A and B are shown apart, each in its own frame.
Chain A
Amino acid sequence: MSATKEVDAITVEIIRNGLIAVTEEMKTNLMRTAYNLIVYEALDFTVGLFTADGDTISIGLGLPMFIRGMSETVKAKLKHFAAEGIHEGDILVTNDGYITGSHLNHVTFTIPIFHEGKILAFGCCMAHWLDIGGSRGTVSTDIYSEGLQIPMLKYRKRGEINQDLIDFIRMNCRLPDFAMGDLRAQITSLATGERRFLELVNRYGRDDVLNSVAVIMDQTEAEARANTRTIPDGVYEAESFMDDDGLDVGKHVPIKVKVIVEGDEMTIDLSEVGAQVRGFFNSGIATGIACAQVAYKCIATPTNYPLNEGSFRSLKVIIPLGRVISAVRPAPLQNWMSFPQTVIDTIFKALAPAIPDRTIAAHHADLVIATLQGISPEGNFFVTHVGPVGGGWGAKSSEDGVSVTVCINDGDTHNTPTEQLEAKFPVLVDHYTLRTDSGGAGQYRGGLGADFAVEALCPMMLNTKIERKFCKPWGLYGGGDGDGNSMSMRTAGDWEDNPQNAKLIGKRMNKGDAFMIRSGGGGGFGDAKLRPADRVAHDVVEGYVSAEAAASDYGVVVDVKTGKIDEAATAQRRGKV
C-alpha cells in the first residue's frame, strides 16, 4: 500500500476537511452518548483514524495529552494479533497502562476498517471509565491494586460480541452499568468512524484518499520544519521538580529536560527526568513521548489540523525506560496525568532563551480536582469528582496570562456548574473566587488561580492528589512566580492549610466539614517594574492585585478605592524621578 502521492491539491484539501469531519463526528457521537461526566464534561477521551500501520491520520480531541497513546495502542495491537489475525467485524480492546501510557480507566477500543478484503485503516476510541475497580483512598504502589487489567483481546470477533469478556468486566467494576453505557458509546463512535471513512473512500477512491493522507502529513511536516528552522540552533536546558509521590512526603522528584535544535529538527532529551516512583504518579513511555510531542506541537504547528503524524517527523524524543514518565511494570499509574504537565512546562522554560516571543511562563499544571465518595442522606452510594477548578496560566512576552482555565493536560474540558453539583450530590459550594495576587508579577502578569470551597452535607471520604505546592509556577525574563496549588480544610471553624503538600488521601469528612482547593496562578513575564502604572492601578481596582503587592512587587502606589496613582511615591519606588 505505497502511496504515490499523485493527487491534486484540491482533492487533498477536500479530503483533509473530510477527515476532520469524520473524527469530529466520532467525537460528537461519543460525547453525546457517554454516561459519565468525565467523558461528557471533562472530555477525557480521544478518538482517531490511523493508517494500516497505526500512524495517526486524524485525532479528534478529547484529551490533548493523549496525542501519542492511541497510535501506540493501535501499533501494539497490530503487533500482537498481526494483520492476518485481524478480521472484518473484529473490535480490539485493551487498557494496558504501559501501552496506552496512562491509567487503567482508559479503556481503548480499535476497529479495523476493511476495504475490498484488506485493512485500509483503523478507527480507535479511548474513553475514561468512571470506575475500573481497584482500591480507593490509598496511594497505590503497584498496578495490580489499581483495578482490572484488560490485556489485548477481541471484544468482537467477526461480528460476534465476546460475552465472557463483558461478564468479566462487569464483575470487576463498581459501576458496571456506567461502564457498559460508556462501552456502548465507544462502539457507536467507532462504527461512525468506519462508516464515514468508507464513504470518503467510495466517493473519492481508495488511492486518492490514501495519497491525500500522505500529502496531508507532508504538508504538516513542512509547517513543522518551517517553524523549527526559525529557532536558533543550540542546546537548551531547564529543570524543575515535583512535590512528592504521595508516599515519600517531602522528597522532590527532579524534572530535567534538554532541547537540541539543529536546522529544521528538534531533539527533546528526557533521560534525566527522575526515575519511576513508588506512589501512583508514574506514566508509561507513550506519555513520556507525548510530553515532547505536545510541547513541540504548541511551538511548531499549534493550529494545524487534523492532528497527524506529520507534526512529529522533525522531532526526535530520547527517553529510556524506567523514568517517571516511561515507567515499567509493576509501577502504579493511576495519577499518570500529573507530572507530564510539568515536564511540558519545563520544555517551554528551556526554550525561553531561544524563542522568547513564542514561549510561555509556567502554569498551575494540575487538574486541581478532588474525588468524593460516601452514602447520601437518602442512602445511595455516590462517587463524584469535584472540579476541575482551573488555574492560572503563564504570561507571554506580549500578553498577560489567562486566569482560571484548565491545565495543558485538558482542552475543551468544562467545570461542573455548582447548581448541578448541589442538585446531584450532598455538598454545598461555599465560594468559587479568584485568588488575588496569585498571578506572578511581571511586565505581563501571570493569570490568577481560584479558590473553590466545598462543604460536606453528610459524612464522606475526600481524595486529592494535587501537585505543585512547592514548585511554584515560575516566571520568565524576570517575571515573578505565581502561587502554587494548595489544599485547606475547615473542621472546627477556621481554614487550615495542609502544610506537607496538596494531597489528601482517604480523608474522612464529617457533616459540616469543608475543603478548599486553591489553584495556583501563572508565572509572570518580564520585569514587573516595566508594567505601565495605569495597568497596575487597573489590576488593583479590579482586585486582581492587592495595593500592597502593587507597591512591593510593581513599585506602584495606588489608592484602592479611587485607583489614583501616587506619582511621587511610585517614581521613588520604581527608581526614577
Chain B
Amino acid sequence: MTANNEKRGLRIAVDIGGTFTDLAAFDENGEKLAFGKALSTHDALVDGIHDTLVGAGVDVKDAYLFLHGTTIGINTLLERTGAKTALLITRGFRDIYEIGRINRPDAYNLFFGKHDPLVKRSWRFEVEERMMADGSVRTELGEDKVRTLARDLKTRGVEAVAILLLHSYRNPTHEQRVEAIIREELPDVFVSSSHHLSQEYREFERVSTVAANAYIGPRVAKYLEELEEQLRVDQFKGDFYIVQSTGGLFPIEEARRECVRMLESGPAAGVIGAQAICAQLGLRDAIAFDMGGTTAKAGVISDGRPLTSSNALIGGYERALPIQVPMIDIFEVGTGGGSIARLAEGNALRVGPQSAGSMPGPACYGRGGTEPTVTDANLLLGRLDAEHFLGGAMKLDLAAAERAVTTVAEKLKLDPMTAAEGILRIAATAMSYAVKGVTTERGLDAGSFAMIVYGGAGPLHASAIAREIGIRRVLIPFSPGHFSAYGMLFSDLRRDYVRSCFQKLAIVPFETIEGLYGEMEDTGRQSLAQSAVKPEKVTIMRSADMRYIGQEHAVTVEIDSALFARQDRDAIKELFDAVHQQRYGTCAPKEKAEIVSLRVTVLGEVPKPPKIHLEAGGDAPSAKALRATKKVYFRESNGFTDTPVYIRTELRAGNKIDGPALIEEHASTTVLAPRDTMVVDAMGNLDIAIGGRT
C-alpha cells in the first residue's frame, strides 16, 4: 500500500482534542477543503473519528494520506491509566526517579507537593553495570541477573519495561544488551530504552522520559492498531502518519515504539498551521495564540520557523514529569473562558487561576455556576450573544451572568459593566505579560511580531491582548475552530536526534563532530527512505548546544554545515556569541566556548496544499453579511456603543470592516475594538490592524 506520488488525491487530517475531534481534508484534484467536527468520545475514540469523517462527507477510501494527532498519550499519562511498568536502572540509582530534582518552587507553602513517579519503587530494579562519563566501562553488565530478573517480571505480569543506564547517551551498549535480553525473555512486552528517545545527559529527565514512553506505550499502540483496523475496514489504502510534538510527521510503526514523541501533537499542529499562514503571507515572525475553554497557549514563530524546546514539563511545574525530547515550545499563558473572577482578602480582584471548566461552567451556562467568569463578562458586555452561541445550539443566561458579576462589582463599588470590562482587561494583561515574558526570555521583541489567533475563545480576546503586547497585526485564520487539523495538512516528515558530547570548541577534532553528525544524519535519511511517502526534498539542519566554559546553561545555535566543512572554529564561535547576545543581551567574545550536545533535524518536505482562495468581493461586505447591529461595551467608547455584527461565512475577500464590530462564526466570535480596521484577505484570513493602519 505504497502511495504513488504522481497520482495524488485526498489528504485527511484528524485531531482529537479534549472536547472535540476535528477534521480537515484537502482534495488535491479539485483543490477543495472540507472541515468536520464531532464530540470526542472518550471510551471509543476510533468511533469518534468515524463519525467525524461521515459528518464531513469525506471517504477515507479516496485518501492517500491519513494524518493524525491525538491526546490519548497525554491523557494516559495525566489520568494514570497506563501499563504495569517495570524500570531497569543502574545499580545504586533506582531512587533517582522518585528523588527527581528535589526543588520546592512553592517556597512558603508547607503543603507543597512533588512529582509522583509512574513506576512505583517495588517495580524499579537495579542492574549490575556501570559506565563512566567518557563511555568506558567501569563495571561489566551482569547479564545473567538481567535474565533472571526478566523471568521474575514475567510471573509478576509486567506489561512494559523501561530501561535507563547511566551515561547511555555516551555509550548505549549496555542498554542495548539489556533490551535484547528482555525482548528474548518477554517477547510480548512493550520495551523501551532511554537512548532511543534521548541521547542527552541528565539522568532524571531521561528516566522520566523512558518511563513515560513505556507506561503509555501499550495503550497507545493498541489504540493505533484499532484505528488502523478501522481504516482497513473503511478501505483506506494510503499511508498513516502521526503528528509529533515537533509538528513533524512520523510513520505509525515508529509512533508505536516512541509514543512519547506525540504527547502535544494537537497544539504543535496549530503552530504548524500558523507557520503555513506566515509562509503564505511572507511573514517571518509571529505569535501563534490558541485559547480554548480551559487554557490559553502560545507558540513562537521566529524567522519563519517555530521555536523548539528540548524538554517539556508535563502536568504543572511543581509536580511535573519532564519529557526530554524535542518539541515545539508551547507555553501556557493563561486560563480560558472559564477563568473565575474572585475577591481575595482586602478586596483584591483576581481572575483565575481557578476555572469553572465545563461543569458547572460559567454562570451563563445555567448549570449551577454562580461565580463570574471571563465568558460571563463577554456576554454581559455584548461580545457574546445569548442566542447565537455555538451557532445558536446553546442558549446563554444573560441574567445569571449579570447576577454573578454583580456579586463582585458591588463589593468593589463598581457598576457591573465596569467590573466586567475590568475582568477582561485583567485577563488580557496577564496573558500579555506571559507572552512577553516568554519572548523576552528568548531575546525576542513580541511587539514587532504578528499574532495568529485561533481556538474557540482566541478571536474574542485577540485585539485586547495584541494591544497590550504592542502587536499591530492580528490574523484570524479561516476556520479558527479547526485549526490544529488544518495545520496537520502542512506537516512535513521529521526526525530529530541529539547527542551529548562535552567538548571544548577550540580543540575538539572536527572528525569527532562530523562522526556524530554523520551518524545522526544517516539514521535520519534511512528513516525517511523507509517512509512510504517520498519527500520532495530532504533538508538537514544542524545545531549545537553551546556555552561558555564554566557556564551551566547552554543555548542552541543553528550552524550551517559549511562551517564544519571549512573547519571554521572562529565562525562557529562568533555565531554562538551572536546567539548569546540576542538571547541574553550580553556575550563574552574573549571567553572560550564548549559544545554540550549536537542536534540534527532531518526534514522530508511533503508537498503543501495550495492556498485557499476565497471568492472576491468589494470593499463593503454584502448586505446579507450584516446580521444585526447591537449594543456592545467598549472602554474606548466609554460604554455601550452601536456595533455591527457580521456573519463570517458571508464575507468575501477584499471586504473591509472597521471596529467596533463583531464577526461571528460557528464556534467563535472575533471582536474588533474601536479604531481597529480589518480586511478579509484572498485566503479568507481576517487581517486586523490594531488601532488602524499607520
Please list the residues of chain A having a beta carbon within 8 angstroms of any beta carbon in chain B: 8-10, 12-14, 16-18, 20-21, 24-25, 28-29, 31-37, 40-41, 61, 64, 177-178, 181, 184-185, 188, 215-216, 218-223, 226, 294, 297-298, 301-303, 348, 358-360, 388-390, 396, 399, 402-406, 410-415, 417-420, 422-424, 428-434, 450, 453, 541-544
Residues of chain B within 8 A of A8, CB atoms compared: 412, 414, 422
Q: Digit string of B371-415 for contact with A (CB within 8 Å is 1, else 0)?
A: 000000000000000000000000000000000000000001010
Q: Which of B167, B345, B436 contacts A219 (CB 8 A)?
A: B345
Q: Which of A10, A28, A404 contacts B99 (CB 8 A)?
A: A404
State the CA gap A29–B442 with chains docked (Å). Answer: 10
Q: Please tell me which stretch of B198-206, B278-286, B288-296 contacts chain A, meaning at least 4 of its Cβ atoms lie within 8 angstroms of it.
A: B198-206
Contact in complex: A40, B553 (CB < 8 Å): yes
Contact in complex: A35, B95 (CB < 8 Å): no
Contact in complex: A542, B120 (CB < 8 Å): yes
State the CA gap A20–B429 with chains docked (Å). Answer: 12
Contact in complex: A302, B109 (CB < 8 Å): yes
Q: Please tell me which stretch of B449-457, B481-489, B580-588 contacts chain A, meaning at least 4 of its Cβ atoms lie within 8 angstroms of it.
A: B580-588
Residue on B nearest A431 in the bound complex, by CB: B92
- B73-100 contacts to A, CB under 8 A, are 91-96, 98-99
State the CA gap A24–B166 with chains docked (Å). Answer: 35
Residues of chain B within 8 A of A25, CB atoms compared: 437, 440-441
Contact in complex: B204, A417 (CB < 8 Å): yes
Contact in complex: B347, A302 (CB < 8 Å): no
State the CA gap A527–B591 with chains docked (Å). Answer: 59
Contact in complex: B111, A396 (CB < 8 Å): yes
Residues of chain B within 8 A of A411, CB atoms compared: 103-105, 107
Contact in complex: B502, A450 (CB < 8 Å): no
- B156-177 contacts to A, CB under 8 A, are 166-167, 169
Residues of chain A within 8 A of B350, CB atoms compared: 13
State the CA gap A414–B437 with chains docked (Å). Answer: 22
Residues of chain A within 8 A of B121, CB atoms compared: 434, 542-544
State the CA gap A178–B551 with chains docked (Å). Answer: 8
Measured CB to CB, the closest approach of chain B to A571, in angstroms, equals 26
Chain B: interface residue count, which band?
Answer: 35 or more
Measured CB to CB, the closest approach of chain B to A302, in angstroms, equals 5
State the CA gap A283–B429 with chains docked (Å). Answer: 41
State the CA gap A178–B84 with chains docked (Å). Answer: 48
Contact in complex: B110, A450 (CB < 8 Å): no
Complex A-B, nearest 6 residue pairs according to Cβ-Cβ distance, in ascending order: A431-B92, A219-B346, A10-B422, A222-B346, A390-B102, A411-B107
Q: Digit string of B431-461 for contact with A (CB within 8 Å is 1, else 0)?
A: 0010011001100000000000000000000
Q: Which of A33, A215, A360 contacts B586 (CB 8 A)?
A: A33
Contact in complex: B108, A9 (CB < 8 Å): no
Contact in complex: A32, B102 (CB < 8 Å): no
Residues of chain B within 8 A of A434, CB atoms compared: 95, 98-99, 121
B425: CB under 8 A from chain A? yes
18 contacts between A and B (CB under 8 A): A8-B412, A9-B348, A17-B429, A20-B433, A25-B441, A40-B552, A41-B552, A219-B344, A223-B344, A303-B109, A399-B111, A403-B99, A410-B104, A419-B167, A432-B93, A542-B121, A542-B122, A543-B121
B634: CB under 8 A from chain A? no
State the CA gap A16–B96 with chains docked (Å). Answer: 38
Contact in complex: A402, B112 (CB < 8 Å): yes
State the CA gap A17–B110 with chains docked (Å). Answer: 24
Contact in complex: A433, B584 (CB < 8 Å): no
B522: CB under 8 A from chain A? no
Q: Which of B111, B166, B167, B441 contacts A28 (CB 8 A)?
A: B441
Residues of chain A within 8 A of B418, CB atoms compared: 10
Contact in complex: A32, B583 (CB < 8 Å): yes
Contact in complex: B551, A35 (CB < 8 Å): yes
Contact in complex: B109, A298 (CB < 8 Å): yes
Q: Which of A29, A40, A226, A294 contacts B108 (CB 8 A)?
A: A294
B241: CB under 8 A from chain A? no
* Contact A419/B102 with A9-B422, A13-B351, A226-B345 known, Cβ cut-off 8 Å: no
Please list the residues of chain B having a beta carbon within 8 angstroms of any beta carbon in chain A: 91-96, 98-99, 101-114, 120-122, 132-133, 138, 166-167, 169, 201-205, 344-351, 412, 414, 418-419, 422, 425-426, 429-430, 433, 436-437, 440-441, 502, 548, 550-553, 583-586, 588, 591
Residue on A nearest B169 in the bound complex, by CB: A419
Contact in complex: B548, A415 (CB < 8 Å): no
State the CA gap A404–B102 with chains docked (Å). Answer: 6
* Contact A33/B426 with A64-B108, A220-B346, A412-B107 known, Cβ cut-off 8 Å: no
Contact in complex: A17, B426 (CB < 8 Å): yes
Residue on B nearest A297 in the bound complex, by CB: B108
Among B110, B347, B430: residue with most chain A CB under 10 A: B110
Measured CB to CB, the closest approach of chain B to A248, in angstroms, equals 32
Contact in complex: B347, A9 (CB < 8 Å): yes
Could you list 7 further interchain pairs (A-B, Cβ under 8 angstroms) beyond the known A12-B348, A14-B425, A389-B102? Answer: A36-B552, A181-B591, A215-B346, A219-B346, A294-B108, A402-B113, A403-B98
State the CA gap A215–B102 with chains docked (Å). Answer: 36
Measured CB to CB, the closest approach of chain A to B423, in angstroms, equals 8
Contact in complex: B103, A406 (CB < 8 Å): yes
State the CA gap A171–B687 with chains docked (Å). Answer: 60
Measured CB to CB, the closest approach of chain A to B604, in angstroms, equals 32
Residues of chain A within 8 A of B167, CB atoms compared: 419, 422
State the CA gap A417–B349 with chains docked (Å). Answer: 42
Residues of chain B within 8 A of A226, CB atoms compared: 345
Q: Which of B346, B425, B426 contacts A218 (CB 8 A)?
A: B346
Measured CB to CB, the closest approach of chain B to A164, in angstroms, equals 21
Residue on B nearest A130 in the bound complex, by CB: B550
State the CA gap A291–B418 with chains docked (Å). Answer: 43
Residue on B nearest A175 in the bound complex, by CB: B550
* Contact A412/B429 with A223-B346, A432-B95 known, Cβ cut-off 8 Å: no
State the CA gap A37–B111 with chains docked (Å). Answer: 28
Residues of chain A within 8 A of B591, CB atoms compared: 177, 181
Measured CB to CB, the closest approach of chain B to A542, in angstroms, equals 4
Residue on B nearest A412 in the bound complex, by CB: B105
State the CA gap A13–B347 with chains docked (Å). Answer: 10
State the CA gap A418–B584 with chains docked (Å). Answer: 27
State the CA gap A417–B419 with chains docked (Å). Answer: 49
State the CA gap A216–B349 with chains docked (Å). Answer: 11
Q: Which of B92, B94, B412, B586 contacts A9 (CB 8 A)?
A: B412
Measured CB to CB, the closest approach of chain A to B298, in angstroms, equals 15
Measured CB to CB, the closest approach of chain B to A227, in angstroms, equals 8
Contact in complex: B584, A33 (CB < 8 Å): yes
Residues of chain B within 8 A of A415, CB atoms compared: 99, 101-102
Residues of chain A within 8 A of B436, CB atoms compared: 21
Measured CB to CB, the closest approach of chain A to B131, in angstroms, equals 10
Residues of chain B within 8 A of A35, CB atoms compared: 548, 550-552
Residues of chain A within 8 A of B347, CB atoms compared: 9, 219
Q: Which of A10, A64, A348 contacts B425 (CB 8 A)?
A: A10
Q: Which of B108, B132, B548, B585 contacts A302 (CB 8 A)?
A: B108
* Contact A13/B348 with A21-B437, A360-B110, A412-B107 known, Cβ cut-off 8 Å: yes
State the CA gap A223–B346 with chains docked (Å). Answer: 7
Residues of chain B within 8 A of A33, CB atoms compared: 584-586
Among B93, B96, B102, B433: residue with most chain A CB under 10 A: B102
Contact in complex: B203, A418 (CB < 8 Å): yes
Residues of chain A within 8 A of B133, CB atoms compared: 419, 422-423
Contact in complex: A29, B433 (CB < 8 Å): no
State the CA gap A210–B437 with chains docked (Å). Answer: 23
